[in-house]
Each structure stands twice: as structure tokens, then as C-alpha cells.
Structure 1
Amino acid sequence: MMKMVEKHMSFVIILLCCVQSTHEVEDGISRSHFPKGFLFGTSTSSYQIEGAPFEDGKGLSNWDVFSHKPGNVENDENGDTADDHYHRYLEDVELMSSLGVDVYRFSISWARILPRGIFGDINPSGIKFYNKIIDNLLLRGIEPFVTIHHHDLPQVLEERYGGWISPLIQRDFVHFAEICFNSFGDRVKYWITINEPSLVAKLAYMEGTYPPGRCSPPFGNCYTGNSDVEPLIVVHNMLLAHAKAVELYRKHFQAKQGGSIGIVAQSLMYEPLRDEECDRQAVPRGLAFVLAWVLDPLVFGEYPSEMQSILGSQLPVFSLEEKSLIKGSLDFIGINHYGTLYVKDCSLSSCPLGADHPISGFVETTGTRDDIPIGDPTGKAKFFVVPRGFEKLLEYIKIRYHNIPMYITENGYSSPSKPDETVDDLLQDFKRIDYHKAYLAALLSAIRRERC
């Protein structure tokens, strides 16, 4: 995880005064090259790391249920053990300390704190577990950076009213957030409300590959769901839940606890697949339907104009009171970024049904150029390693959102696994090393260019 919070001159002057290339930076990159206040860290989420799904009073989460239904996840894998962080957190904290990281971003399992959601009592064992993590981090000089909701929620909320489809979850999320502020806020100075609202909407309610597994043709063949409508409702509820939690924190906790609060949005960067104006226009449209979908309302009080013009009355509407609530409800922006995809226009030319979301007027494609794909070595890559895309994305965010403080909350490389791969093979992690060098160099290049 990385932070970039410098205040800079306009980009007109920046582009004129710096000419250093990313490759020149990468050749001699070191930690000392980054400005004072820049933070290096590691990042996890509760379901992906903790395990212990039924210990010490924890309730079922939506992922506990979803991952145990045959066919929902690849190879019927689940998080029952994961990295066993629940039992090995002291070893993990020691490993982080040995790396010399400044911060550790982790999420709190909603079902470990409130096993029955708002319908039951607080689980004291859950509070104790996260207190131990926070205290041990601080003992080693590592700042806790806490995500309140990272994709997992109590299954009871899914069963009672449909989870994020219902506006009732706004109330329940604020209740959970208040418990977190009360229990941990005296030591936690960095809060993230929700991780990646637009990704949850796409994977859980459009494609059905995340819990609760809702979708409709042509995007997927789920038991129930509406892929055109539900993703829009889910993000709407998440944004209002975020804003209400921020309002609570600012009114009752921030002055005393001295922390800051934001949200994490995810975005790839996009480049036009073809050297045609229609594909070039698809790039900002793609960013609007992925990144600005989340951030525009929280900064400006409105959904992006690109979405409004295409979706019209399908897009939920904020009331005047809600606009006042959500506008400016960010102390910082968190960004999860891994790579770049090419986009093709779908507003003037045909695209295959079910390919991303044709109603948005663009389709993501892996393209045919020479950048390095990440993912399946057969060519079904999820995105491409394009460090220059990182620079472009940072520039887009800085300009569009008037230089709000920014944290890169996730960035990394997942090497394709091979059937005969051994532990020794995995330790020869040259591609991941090259990835981090290239993306850190791109970030450093962007910082230096902006500071001219």
C-alpha cells in the first residue's frame, strides 16, 4: 500500500518542467527516493486470511455459505483455513515488522463482531482478537489501516432482507461502524468504510461469481437476480451507507480520536484497442462506469455525467438531503490498481452480449498488443502489466478530484500457477519483483513530475 498526498502546481507547468522517464527512474529506484510522509505497507482482507470461521462465537458470513456450495468457486476452495491468521497473527505481525513496513491494512469481519448482525449482541471474542492485532502492530511501530467492510457480511443480513439490495443495510452498516469506532478508534487513525463498491456490484450482482450470486442472462445463469438493475441499487446503498458512517465519525469521534476516513475504489486503466476516435472516447466512459461511479457522488454529490446520459432513469437518484450528505464525505481516496485493459466502443459498433456491460457503451478486452498479460498463460489474461497506465490513472484521479489525498491501497501481481510447481519454484519470484519495481517506478515518476 502506498500514499501520495503532496500538493502540486497545475499540470501545464508540470509537463513542461520534467522529462525523466519511468525506465530511468526504475534503474535506480530505492525507498529513500520517495517523499517524506510516503507510506509503504501490506494489505489483506478478513475472509482471505483469517480462517477459523466457526471459532469463538463468530457467525456465518456470506462467503462462508457461498464458498461451500458446489460450483460457486474454483476447485470448491473455501476460506475455512486460509492463511490461519486467526491463530498465527503474531507470526504474521512479526513478518511484517521484519519487512520494515509502515502500515498494515486489514479488514474486520462483520460476522466475527456481530454474528447475527443488528439482531444480536456484540461478540467479545471478536473485539478481543482485533484489539490484539492492533496492539501488536503498534508495539512494532506499524500503523493499523482498517477496512470496515471488505466484501464479507453476516449471512443473516442476506437472509433477512437481501443484504446490499435493501436500504435497511445502511442502518446496519452504520451500527457496525459505530462499534468499530468505539472499540478501536482510540488507536486506529486510518479508516476505510467499504472496499470496491463497483467491483462487488459487478461480481456479486451482475455476473453472480461473488456472494450472494445474483445475476441474469446474458451475464450469467443464476437462480435469481437482475444484472441490469441490481448493481446500480447496490452501489447506491453502499455510497449512502458510507456517507452516513462518515457523518457519524465526524460528529462523534474524529475530533477526539484524530483519525481520517475514506473509501476504496478499484480501477484498471484503459487504452483504446483501435486507433479510432470511438475507441478513444470509450476510455473516459470506461473510467466513469468503474471509478467515477463510486467517487463522483462522494466528491460532487452526483453520479458521473457519462452514466447519467447513458442510463437515464435507470440510475438511482439522490434526494437533496442525500446529496448534501454524500458530497464531500471523503478525507482521502483509496485506490486499488493492478494493470491496464484495452477497450472497444460498443455505442457505435457491435460487441458480444455479456461482455462486461454493453449498456455502458464500452467493452473490456485483453487486446493484441505486446504488453505482458497477467493471469492464465494460455492467453485468457485478466489485465496487462502496463506501468504507464498507473501514471495515467493517477493523473486522471488527481485532476478529476482536485488533488484529494490519495492512498494506493492495493497493487500487486498474481503469478499464474502451474500443476507441477514446487515451493522452490514459487520462491523464484522474479516476475513479481519486476512488476513491483516497474509500478513503484511509475508512481515515483508521477510524483516527481507533479512536484516540479
Structure 2
Amino acid sequence: MYQTDYPHAFPKDFLWGGATAANQIEGAFATDGKGLTTAEIVKKAADRQQISMGNVTKDSLREALAEQTVGDYPKRRGIDFYHQYPADIKLFAQMGFKALRISIAWARIFPNGDEKRPNKAGLKFYDNLIAEMKKYNIEPVVTLSHYEMPLGLTLKYNGWASREVVSDFTRFTQTVFERYKDKVKYWITFNEINTGAWGFHETGALEDGLTEQEKLQQRYQALHHQFIASALATTQLHEMEPEDKMGCMLARMQTYPATTDPADVLATQQANDRNLFCTDVQVRGEYPNYMNRFFAEHKIKIKMEPGDQAVLREGKVDYLSFSYYMSTVTAAGENEDLGNFSHGLKNKYLEETPWGWQIDPVGLRISLNELWDRYQVPLFIVENGIGMLEAPDSDGKIHDDYRIDYLREHIEQMQEAIADGVKLLGYLMWGPIDLISFSTSEMSKRYGFIYVDQDDEGKGSLKRTPKDSFYWYQKVIATNGKDLA
């Protein structure tokens, strides 16, 4: 509808807060009947410029299974949130959090993934965690699968490569929906589902001995199974609690053409389309036509069962959530590593973090506008932040002005996007407390408003200390984004 005015501020009900993942904070990997997850068999990367989550083979899996302690697997220890969550939630409440994104570790509820009855101790933990959040009026935003599927499903079925996992997932979702439907309004099915095109960390499927074409075939078939599982879970939720909202989640890789050469512009358009393939399916409820050529050229044949297309149409999500950390540059025929998380060319106009992630606040506004224009559903930023090497100064405090600058610049661009007409539900900064890195499984990559005294070897007191950014974000939330100084 045409209006003569436009929004000048964040909405009154804007959800300010932070985002976490069970496998990066909880620890207690073998406590109260929990099973191993795919995240807990990945060693710390030897080089922080290289991602470690995809480097899983049959040999490395056997080695991980033989290790009964934390060993070289930092995600098994996390930051002991499993035991320290009351104090951590209290700190989040002191900042004024309106929402906190958590994930429910599937293997805490169904240790091997295929049990018929849930683990009561696992359910009790999330009962207590959600109750603690509710005590401070913090809205839970719950991810159902955040790179942490039960390892038992890899061992039994080769993860999402098998259609069998769909029924196991829907048993899990039915269980947690019934348990928490009155306590959780916002759900997310799969974290950064589009990264399933990269392999194991999302699909849980081993790739030993496969050709490059066979890897692509397996990955996209696994994604199809996840699409079906997501749609079925969305339908479950809507039938059970029509007012609750289900979202999909995208790792947004905004990319720009290297030049005005039409070949570069076309390559960029195609890269952006492939980045949005999964959200096209989950928001629009059908496979996009542009993937037909991609599948044909890569000899990929998606096996669908009768009724799958109807399931996708009926199980469309209510909102689109996404992570945004960086942008890239695309040139026709060129593709090189950009840091440890993505592929692309360097942008000479941007600075970067020690991990090679290029800092681009304006890219966030561009992404918000493009996603809103494409989908016309509410958007939700559920990850954005900067990982840095940090240690307390001589005064025992962490003076992280660089984090304040980073967040301020991104929040300013969010406000510009809202003024542009984008409907934005909230901003959940990653991660509000120092945690184990997804990409490298190290502790040295620190994102938090709260410093955790633990090093890469797990040594330290685990003492929590607010950084300067803690008090800055407290002010931002209290003024609903008006005071960013």
C-alpha cells in the first residue's frame, strides 16, 4: 500500500538478543544419557584459515569413536553451559535480551536418533533452560537441527543421504513441539541449510571414495530429504499450534560482480541464485526452474516419492531467518578461497578479520532488501558478529571497541533497510558469550559480549567477564536502537 511516510525507527516489538548452538556451548557430551553428535567427532583445525567440519572420513570417525573423553574434540566440552546456564541467562537478562536463539540437541532427546521413546533427562534439561529464559521474559528462538544430528544416524543410514532419517526427525519434532508448544513461539528447522551443498557438517553423510559428481548427487539428495523433513515439521507445528511460527535459515553469501563485464554479472547472478536455492524451496514451496539446468549439467537426479511436491507446497515456512557475516566477489571462471568459511574473490574496498572474513555492513542492507523483494515474508537476522583474538588487558577487562564499531555499523544498515520497507523481526547477534568456533573448533575465535576464561586446550577457570561491548549492547537494547554511540 502506498504511504507518504516510512519507518524511522526499529519496531516497538523488535527482538534484540543473541544466538547460540548446543554443540558450541553445552558441553556435557556424555551426560544424562546424551548420544554423540556429528559435531563432536570433529577435531580442532590445525590452521584457522581452514574449515574443519567437513573433514570427516571413515578413518577419522573410527578414531573419534575410540576416544571416550573430550580429547581433541573441543565441541564435547563447549563452555559448560549445560551446568552454568542459570548464570549465563542472568547475564543475558542484564543486557536486556528480548530473545535468545538456542538449539535443542537432537541426541539429548533421542541419543542415537532412532529410538521410539525420548530421553527424559534430555527433555528435563530443556524444560529448565526454557523456564530460566522465561523467568526473565526472554523469548526462546529454537533451532531444531544446528549441525548436530545424532551420530547414530550417520552410522546406521549415512545421515540425510537416506530417506529413513525423515521419519526419525519428525518423531523428534513431534516430541519437542508437544513439550514446548506453549513456551516457544519461534522455531527454525535447519541451521544454514544451504551449506548442505558443501557436505558432511549439514548432511551427516560420509563421502569416502565418491567422485565429485557422486558427492554432488548425494548432497542434493540429502537436501531434498531435509526439505521434506522441514515441510513435515512445519505442517506438524501449524496443526498443533497455528499461531507459532516456523522459519528456515540461510547462510547468506552476498556476492558482487568483479567487473561490469556481462560475464561477471551473469556469474554473480547465478551464484546468488544457488545461494538462495534452499530458501526458494522452503519459502515458495517448490523447486526453482533455474536449478533444472544445474542438475542436468552435473548429472544430478533427485529421487522424489509420490506426494513430495504436495508436501513442499503445504509446508512452506512463515519467515526467513539468516546469518550474515561477509560478502564476496564473483568473476566468471574464477573461484578461490575467501577465508575459512566461503569461496570467492577478495574485495579491495573491504577490511577483513583474522579469519579472512570481509567486513561489509552495507552488504547487510543489500541482502535485506534483496531477500524482502524476493520473498515478501518477515526476515529475521539470527546470526551476525565478529570473531577476534582477545585477552584481558592489564586491568583484567576486555576493551573491544572493534566489536562495538562492527555491530554499530551493521545495526545502522538494518535501520536503513527498515526505512527502505523491509519487515525485520529482530537481531540475534552471534554469539553473545565466547564459545567454540563452528568452523575451526577453537576457543580463540571470540565473538561474545562475555569473555569466558578457557583456552583452546580447555584450560581455564570458565569465569565469565563482561566486555565493554556488554554495556554498549545493554544501552542499544534499552533505547531500542536509538543510542548507538
Scaled by the length of structure 1, the TM-score of the pair is 0.80
Choose from 392, 398, 411 the match for 1:427: 398
In the other structure, the counterpart of 1:373 is 352
2:360 corresponds to which of 386, 395, 402: 386
Residue 64 (structure 1) aligns with? 40
Cα distance change of structure 1 residues 66 and 339 upon mapping to structure 2, 3 Å threshold: closer
| Equivalence for 1:117 | 113
> Cα distance 1:309–1:149, how it changes in 2: closer, same or farther (>3 A)?
same
The amino acid of 2:21's aligned partner reads: S
Q: Which residue of 2 aligns with 1:214?
A: 207
Shift in Å at residue 218 of structure 1? Answer: 8.6
Distance 1:385 1:70 in 2: 24
Residue 384 of structure 2 is aligned to residue 411 of structure 1: yes
Give how far 1:317 is off: 5.9
Residue pair 2:37, 2:149 contacting (<8 A) in 1 also: yes
In the aligned structure 1, how far is the partner of 2:364 from the partner of 2:44?
A: 36
Contact 1:63–1:211 under 8 Å retained in 2:
no
Aligned counterparts of 2:257 and 2:45: Cα–Cα separation in 1: 39
- Who is 2:155 aligned against? 159
Partner of 1:248: 236
Alpha-carbon distance between aligned partners in 2 of 1:387 and 1:78, rounded to the nearest angstrom? 31
Which residue matches 1:271? 256
Q: Could you tell me how far apart the structure 1 residues matched to 2:230 and 2:200 are?
A: 19
Instruction: Confirm whether residue 261 of structure 1 aligns to residue 261 of structure 2.
Output: no
Determine helix, strand or coil for the equivalent of 2:100: strand
More helix by share: 1
Q: Is the Cα–Cα contact under 8 Å of residues 273 and 367 in structure 1 kept in the other structure?
A: no
Answer whether contact 2:199 2:219 (CA < 8 A) is retained: no
2:99 touches 2:141 (CA, 8 Å); kept in 1? yes
Amino acid of the residue matched to residue 316 of structure 1? I
Partner secondary structure for residue 176 of structure 1: helix
Which of 113, 132, 137 aligns to 1:136? It is 132
- Aligned twin of 1:438: 409
SS in 1 for 2:234: helix
Identity %: 26
The one of 168, 173, 180 equivalent to 1:172 is 168
For residues 45 and 256 of structure 2, the distance between their equivalents in structure 1, rounded to whole angstroms, comes to 38
Residue identity in the other structure for 1:115: P
- Other-structure match for 1:146: 142
Residue deviations 1:386-424 (CA, integer Å, cap 9, x gap): 1111111111111111x1111111111112x3xxx5323
Tell whether the 8 Å contact from 1:54 to 1:60 is kept in structure 2 after alignment. Answer: yes
Distance 1:314 1:302 in 2: 17
Distance 1:105 1:67, change over 3 A: same
1:94 aligns with 2:90: yes
Note the C-alpha offset of 1:441: 0.5
Residues 161 and 319 (structure 1 numbering): CA distance in 2 closer, same or farther, change over 3 Å?
A: closer
Code of the residue aligned with 2:392 in structure 1: it is V
What is the CA-CA distance between 1:439 and the residue it aligns to? 0.7
Contact kept, 8 Å, 1:215 with 1:226, in 2: the verdict is no
Residues of 2 paired with 1:400 and 1:69: CA distance?
Answer: 37
Distance 1:275 1:337 in 2: 25
In the alignment of these two chains, the number of paired residues is 395
Q: SS in structure 1 opposite 2:255?
A: strand
Distance (Å, rounded) in 2 between the aligned partners of 1:269 and 1:136: 36
Q: 1:136 deviation in Å?
A: 1.0
Describe the shift of the 1:216–1:343 C-alpha distance in structure 2 as closer, same or farther (beyond 3 A).
farther
State the match for 1:296 in structure 2. Answer: 280
Letter in 1 for 2:312: I
Contact in 2 for aligned 1:148/1:192 (Cα 8 Å)? yes
- Letter in structure 2 aligned against 1:234: A
Indicate the RMSD between aligned Cα atoms, in angstroms: 3.1
Residue 201, structure 1, aligned to residue 181, structure 2: no
Unpaired stretches in structure 1, ≥5 consecutive residues: 1-7, 21-31, 220-224, 357-362
Deviations 1:105-135 (A, max 9, x none): 1000111111122235311111111011111
Q: Name 2:224's counterpart in structure 1.
A: 236
Residue 343 of structure 1 and its aligned partner are, at CA, apart by 0.9
3-state SS in 1 of match to 2:132: helix
2:289 pairs with 1:305: yes
SS in 2 for 1:345: coil
Q: CA 1:293–1:451 in structure 2 vs 1: closer, same or farther (change >3 Å)?
A: closer
Q: Distance in 1 between matches of 2:304 and 2:111?
A: 31
- Within 1, Cα distance between the matches of 2:285 and 2:204? 29
Q: Which residue of 2 aligns with 1:25?
A: none
Residues 345 and 70 (structure 1), Cα distance of their counterparts in 2 relative to 1, 3 Å cut: closer
TM-score (norm 2): 0.74
Instruction: Show the counterpart of 2:269.
Output: 284
2:309 alignment partner in structure 1: 323
